Structure 1
Amino acid sequence: MKKLICFAALCICILFYSSASPLTGLLERIDKGASRKFIIEQVKSDTDFFELDQRGDKVVIRGNNAVSLATGLNWYLKYHAGIHLSWNGMKARLPETLPAVLQKERHETSLRHRYDLNYCTFSYSMAFWDWERWEQEIDWMALHGINLPLALTGAETVWYNVLKKLGYSPTEINQFISGPGFFAWWLMNNLEGWGGPNPDSWYKQQVVLQKKILKRMREYGIEPVLPGYAGMVPNNAHEKLGIQVSDPGVWCGYTRPAFIQPTDPRFEEIANLYYKEMEKLFGKANYYAIDPFHEGGSVSGVDLDAAGKAIMKAMKTANSRAVWVVQAWQANPQPAMIDNLKKGDMLVLDLFSEGRPQWGDPASSWYRKQGYGKHEWIYCMLLNYGANVGLHGKMDYVIDGFYDAKAHEHAGSTLSGVGMTPEGIENNPVMYELVMELPWRAERFDKQTWLSNYVTARYGCSDSVLQQAWQLLGQSIYNCPKASTQQGTQESVFCARPAEVVNQVSSFAETADYYDPQDVIRAAGLMVSVADQYRGNNNFEYDLVDILRQAIAEKGRLIQKAVAAAYRAGDKQVFKAASDRFLDLILLQDELLATRSEFSVSKWINQARSLGNTPDEKKLYEWNARVQITTWGNRHAANNGQLRDYAHKEWSGILKDLYYQRWKVYFDSMQQKLVGKSVNDIDFYIMEETWANASNVYPSAVQGDCVSTAQRVYQSVFK
């Protein structure tokens, strides 16, 4: 009997050690030696939960799996230790003796899924990440409770192998697969080839990277969502393979890939080949992302019911337990395609729950009366478009929309999770903290109280001036009205193609004034007023630069209107003074942002170049990086397809070298008109393409001290 007890105890210890090991590694990456300060206890439970407790001088984190434990750790760090880990800093110095948990605290959730990422995130933010950056992101996911992230890295190699087996030559394959800055839209069946061709080394290194990503995710117990087969084939598949295809049409000036008809017997053959190649490289998945007819793809001539069943059958052949994950965006998923699929086989991402929810809110412009029927769905916050820089959020509605959905008589019964579906990350950390805490808070809560606690956690102290600054932001720029459908931040006028009237930068933004710019300017002034006190506080310094950046952009919007008014009035003197002031603001903004690497174009370009093994490869990846954030596409796609400046960045380097130059040329032209001279139309595309094709080096090191620079810039702009 004693032997049995000892053996059982040994098994428990081994189980405990193996389950706790991801947390040990996580803690050591946060702060070397941190793992010895905690007791990590994993216990069985059908409900995801975490508990914070105390045993002697050690903090106890208890939970039912590694992700729950990591979520509990993050909760403790934020709300007990005043340590906020964020994209701007994933390391911290923990005190030798941790603040004690004075009373056991428990949080649990019945929502099984906490989803992360959008196809677009993989291009707008992650296109050129290495393993070091991915390792940090997976840690960030675990700390924020995410257990179901999209995992697209390396999908291009799967496709390369499939097409090769179908008889395509390497040249033909690379005419189909896009370049690394544009994989998202290729995978969503929007375009072919743009940004390529890729060198052989790209395919090899991305496979190595994805295997590391998946290994770490699976160590945490995180379920990766691999890309499934939606029916996409190259546009010449009818001629090359002799198969029946439909023409999904054109996307923003690009010819879409073709869609193989589900009634064609080769649909199953190609799908099976795809899943075999996927499994060979990356293993099976229990979730597959499949998004046919994304963003307006034509369904003319397609039997949607048959298409849904064929897609599902192919996925289930690969893994009978697999679930189809689909994005709800515009008319997709088409009801006729999903209505006859079995309950439990599909998981729908309500992609823009805070702007155009489709789960059943009758106030939504994309209202679906029956929501997603019997299928489970996830309440998602999109928030960011094009990885644009700018403060933005709908704090009240993100909270209220979630609890309204939970209480809805139909949608509440099929709601299975919360998710983040931004097109770009590494911005607005406050909003991502908010949305990922929703499933762990049983009752609707007050925004003001939550924000006050966030500010204390963010800076590690309670400060009335910082609280005042953030309450101003929380009531203004972070409280976009429920009815608004604008796509992301208000957008900085500095980054816009110059015009007399400028309401937005990207063509699809739908922005409208919803807050008083003076609230942002006052918040920036408050941050600057205590800046000396918080020198060296990484989170404060990041926010100081970001909030002051937003305030300067607000000032720019006001001055641009003055420039236009002076021009219309024919007042040459006021026009000259106002336009010069506007240009000065761009240069001051550039100088401010150069003090933080997060706001510098050099970081983006250097990430791209670092993945190249030869000068030609570095040049290709840099070109992808530069084109994506400027013209996006060729002249036709940029101008007629309206893609130019969609992924604009208010970053140092590009502000001075492109945006400043555009506005200066425009103002010079207006000045000439004011004195009666005839001028030619300005070809802005040529200016943008010239910058995109350049290879000038931007400093990789930050330029100047951010606090001193912020103080000086603030005085120059607002005093």
Structure 2
Amino acid sequence: MYWHNKQYICVFASRFRYYQNVCTFSYSSVWWDWPRWEREIDWMALNGINLPLAFTGQEALWQEVYRALGLNQSEIDEFFSGPAFLAWNRMGNMFRFGGPLPQSWHVNQLYLQFRILERMRSFGMIPILPAFSGNIPKGILRLFPAANVTSLGPWSHFNCSFSCSYILDPRDPLFLQIGSLYLSQVVQQFGTNHIYNTDTFNEMTPPSSDPAYLSAVSRSVFASMTAVDPHAIWLMQGWLFFSDAVFWKPAQIQALLHGVPLGRMIVLDLFAETEPIFSYTESFYGQPFIWCMLHNFGGNSGFFGTVESINSGPFEALRFPNSTLVGIGMTPEGIEQNPVMYELMSELAWRKEPVNLSKWVSLYAMRRYGSTDENLTAAWVRLFASVYNCTLPHYRNHNHSPLVRRPSFHMNSGLWYDPADLYKAWKLIIEAAPSLMSKETFRYDLVDVTRQVLQVLTTYFYQDIVDAFKNQKLPELLTAGGVLVNDLLPELSRLLNSDRNFLLGTWLERARSLALGEREAQLYDMNARNQLTLWGPSGEILDYASKEWGGLMEDYYAQRWGLFVHILVECLDSGRPFKQDAFNQAVFQVEKGFIYNGRRYPTKPQGDTYNIAYRIFLKYYPQALKRLK
């Protein structure tokens, strides 16, 4: 699933007075059709989830509200981003890029939302619906020139043509008018279970740090909810307190939280496994909160976990003095990776105390494959104790591998574990493979662990390339660069293309399938590719997604590495220095070319996974062991 400073799905499972919260950002769900949504909701139900966020289709209602206020279609089109970036658009972080949204998009998403809500409620879930944060189209200024509107400036370090936001002051009477008009539409169309989400100032600095102002802001936001629904409860994420800790000191945090009556707000402690906010805010100064595992930024491929932290953290939060904990949850930006982490976290909601991790993962191996093979148990015990047990403080799980980064001389893989454990687990899984290839869960894990090994080996070859260039040793550069570009990356591509869960073509086909006509299909295709790669018109959040998928590997990552090695060889040959700025300009053309290459990628696996993985093992396992010495 997905969440964080993007769209998410909050889900809670009952345990005494508890909710289990899973909040998920739509890196994948943006292109989901109804069968995929139905499958996800069924998974939620099987795990006892009872409070999912339901944000689909909200732009259709916003369009009607803005039309009723007097905005023209061009002003509305300028405001909404493209589908792949709507989550950030909803947070007020950006606008316009990737759009405009076709009218067919609104119709499709509205239809989906009705089915999503029906399915969720049929299981007794309580869908959370969107409310007004104050993020408005610039066109509002034409209609209401006297409105108290602030341009918060660009999100992060970007320019305003991409990310400037206009925020209507919640104390302005127009805020209540727009907020209640919108929420009335939401309740009329979607019904209500009385819990609403909105996030003001997400990764944006407020115009004033005055506690009186911040308290008035939250009071006004809440008033726009209760004007429509007197029983409203406001769910908000606590990410802003961490992401802008310089601004959000205790007085500011308390002021914002206490603008809402105690108990009428629920705060998501979004990244609690690493940066628990409840611990230094006296349990959010009395407001109920949910302890959340964020786990994954960007939906990155790559093994990662903090099993010790998530195993103990929720129970420590429950025992915290005057704790206001009301649930635990998951808030990853992307799902469909590291399934073991979500299995563990969803189970903890039903536990009264931490699990024995070694015993739990041993049983997980048996459940996952239906096998008692001791090799599999030993492999998972090793993985859980190493790659899935990051204990570095303040570690943020972006995939740092050079494999998925624009090449430069300043990259570090940032390993938090001993790769020897990964290699041993790989060997054990390979040995168990012949009798288990009929099981999809095993094939997935075989691909994933082999992929992780090649990701680590990429770092070694990258270092060989850097050392050879700095020492002006052309033969060594040609050798290391040749192995990486001409063998390791092609082998990785073949491996990824052999499993349906690692295909770029599936992602792109899902996007194109939502289109009416070729023009829309090209728009959605561009959105889908850009979000995975440049993330913005000029690479504003370059490589944020870091997906290791077949198709993406050969036509994006491998092309960049091939250009990097080629230019380094030319520099050594001619005696010229390597200039990163010049390389960045050249490689940008490769990156942009991928977004617009028009190529259709396979949606069905190709090749024999076992044969490919075993060939890679025979070739690279000895090299992996050699690198340990």
1:113 matched to which residue of 2?
19
Residues 379 and 417, structure 1, Cα contact 8 Å, conserved in 2: yes
How do 1:175-324 residues align onto structure 2 when only pairs under 5 Å count? 175-242=78-145, 243-252=147-156, 253=158, 254-300=162-208, 303-324=213-234
Residues 623 and 692, structure 1, Cα contact 8 Å, conserved in 2: yes
How do 1:106-505 residues align onto structure 2 when only pairs under 5 Å count? 109-118=15-24, 121-122=25-26, 124-242=27-145, 243-252=147-156, 253=158, 254-300=162-208, 303-331=213-241, 334-360=253-279, 368-411=280-323, 414-481=324-391, 483-488=392-397, 490-503=399-412
Q: Aligned partners of 2:76, 2:209: CA distance in 1, in Å?
A: 27
How do 1:50-129 residues align onto structure 2 when only pairs under 5 Å count? 109-118=15-24, 121-122=25-26, 124-129=27-32
Q: Aligned partners of 1:185, 1:400: CA distance in 2, in Å?
A: 32
Q: Aligned partners of 2:495, 2:20: CA distance in 1, in Å?
A: 36
SS in 2 for 1:152: coil
Q: Deviations over 1:10-40 (max 9, x none)?
A: xxxxxxxxxxxxxxxxxxxxxxxxxxxxxxx
How do 1:690-705 residues align onto structure 2 when only pairs under 5 Å count? 690-705=593-608
Q: Aligned partners of 2:57, 2:264: CA distance in 1, in Å?
A: 25
Aligned amino acid, residue 431 of structure 2: S
Q: CA deviation at 1:467?
A: 0.9
Q: Aligned partners of 2:96, 2:395: CA distance in 1, in Å?
A: 30
Q: CA deviation at 1:677?
A: 4.0
1:20 matched to which residue of 2?
none
Q: Aligned partners of 1:152, 1:659: CA distance in 2, in Å?
A: 33
Q: Deviations over 1:156-208 (max 9, x none)?
A: 11111111111111121010011100010000110111110011111011100
- TM-score w.r.t. the length of structure 1 is 0.80
Query: Which sits farther off after the overlay, 335-344 or 207-216?
Result: 335-344
2:512 matched to which residue of 1?
609
Residues 155 and 164, structure 2, Cα contact 8 Å, conserved in 1: yes
Q: Aligned partners of 1:498, 1:111: CA distance in 2, in Å?
A: 50
- The structure number with the bigger radius of gyration is 1
Aligned amino acid, residue 569 of structure 2: Q
Q: CA deviation at 1:312?
A: 0.6
Q: Deviations over 1:362-386 (max 9, x none)?
A: xxxxxx2423011111011111111
SS in 1 for 2:417: coil
2:487 maps to 1:581: no
Q: CA deviation at 1:586?
A: 1.1
Aligned amino acid, residue 675 of structure 1: D
Structure 2 residue corresponding to 1:646, chosen from 532, 544, 556 = 544
Residues 299 and 545, structure 2, Cα contact 8 Å, conserved in 1: yes
Q: Give the 3 Å change call, closer, same or farther, for CA 496–117 of structure 1 in structure 2.
A: same
2:462 matched to which residue of 1?
560
Aligned amino acid, residue 263 of structure 2: G
Q: CA deviation at 1:340?
A: 3.5
Residues 111 and 415, structure 1, Cα contact 8 Å, conserved in 2: no
Q: Aligned partners of 1:527, 1:551: CA distance in 2, in Å?
A: 12
Residues 298 and 398, structure 2, Cα contact 8 Å, conserved in 1: no
Q: Aligned partners of 1:531, 1:573: CA distance in 2, in Å?
A: 38
Structure 2 residue corresponding to 1:619, chosen from 519, 522, 530 = 522
Q: CA deviation at 1:613?
A: 1.5
Q: Give the 3 Å change call, closer, same or farther, for CA 147–454 of structure 1 in structure 2.
A: same
Q: Aligned partners of 2:287, 2:424: CA distance in 1, in Å?
A: 46
Q: Aligned partners of 2:115, 2:237: CA distance in 1, in Å?
A: 26
Q: Aligned partners of 1:410, 1:567: CA distance in 2, in Å?
A: 59
SS in 1 for 2:574: coil
Query: Which sits farther off after the overlay, 158-167 or 128-137?
Result: 158-167
Residues 401 and 412, structure 2, Cα contact 8 Å, conserved in 1: no
Q: Aligned partners of 1:624, 1:125: CA distance in 2, in Å?
A: 12
2:423 maps to 1:515: no
Q: Deviations over 1:460-502 (max 9, x none)?
A: 1222100111111111110000x43232254432211011231
1:5 matched to which residue of 2?
none
SS in 2 for 1:384: coil
Q: Aligned partners of 1:571, 1:199: CA distance in 2, in Å?
A: 55
Q: CA deviation at 1:648?
A: 2.4
Structure 2 residue corresponding to 1:629, chosen from 529, 532, 555 = 532
Q: Deviations over 1:196-227 (max 9, x none)?
A: 00111110111000000000000001111111
Q: CA deviation at 1:427?
A: 0.9
Q: Give the 3 Å change call, closer, same or farther, for CA 317–148 of structure 1 in structure 2.
A: same
Count how many residue pairs are aligned between Structure 1 and Structure 2.
Answer: 590
SS in 2 for 1:514: coil
2:575 maps to 1:673: no
Residues 399 and 546, structure 2, Cα contact 8 Å, conserved in 1: no
Q: Deviations over 1:34-71 (max 9, x none)?
A: xxxxxxxxxxxxxxxxxxxxxxxxxxxxxxxxx99xx9
Higher relative contact order (CA 8 A, sep 6+): 2
Residues 283 and 325, structure 2, Cα contact 8 Å, conserved in 1: no
Q: Deviations over 1:428-467 (max 9, x none)?
A: 1111111111121112222111111111111112221001
Structure 1: segments with no counterpart, 5+ residues: 1-66, 72-107, 361-367, 505-511
* Identical-residue share of aligned pairs (%): 35
Q: Aligned partners of 2:221, 2:495: CA distance in 1, in Å?
A: 51
Q: CA deviation at 1:236?
A: 4.2
Q: Deviations over 1:380-415 (max 9, x none)?
A: 11111111111100001111112211111123xx11
2:3 matched to which residue of 1?
none
1:77 matched to which residue of 2?
none
Q: CA deviation at 1:115?
A: 1.7
Residues 327 and 349, structure 1, Cα contact 8 Å, conserved in 2: yes
Residues 154 and 165, structure 2, Cα contact 8 Å, conserved in 1: no
Residues 521 and 548, structure 1, Cα contact 8 Å, conserved in 2: no
Q: CA deviation at 1:691?
A: 0.7
Residues 392 and 489, structure 1, Cα contact 8 Å, conserved in 2: no
Structure 2 residue corresponding to 1:663, chosen from 518, 542, 561 = 561
Q: Aligned partners of 2:51, 2:171: CA distance in 1, in Å?
A: 32
2:612 maps to 1:709: yes
Residues 375 and 428, structure 2, Cα contact 8 Å, conserved in 1: yes
Q: CA deviation at 1:301?
A: 7.8
Aligned amino acid, residue 305 of structure 1: S
Q: Which protein has the bigger helix share?
A: 2
Q: CA deviation at 1:285?
A: 3.5
1:4 matched to which residue of 2?
none
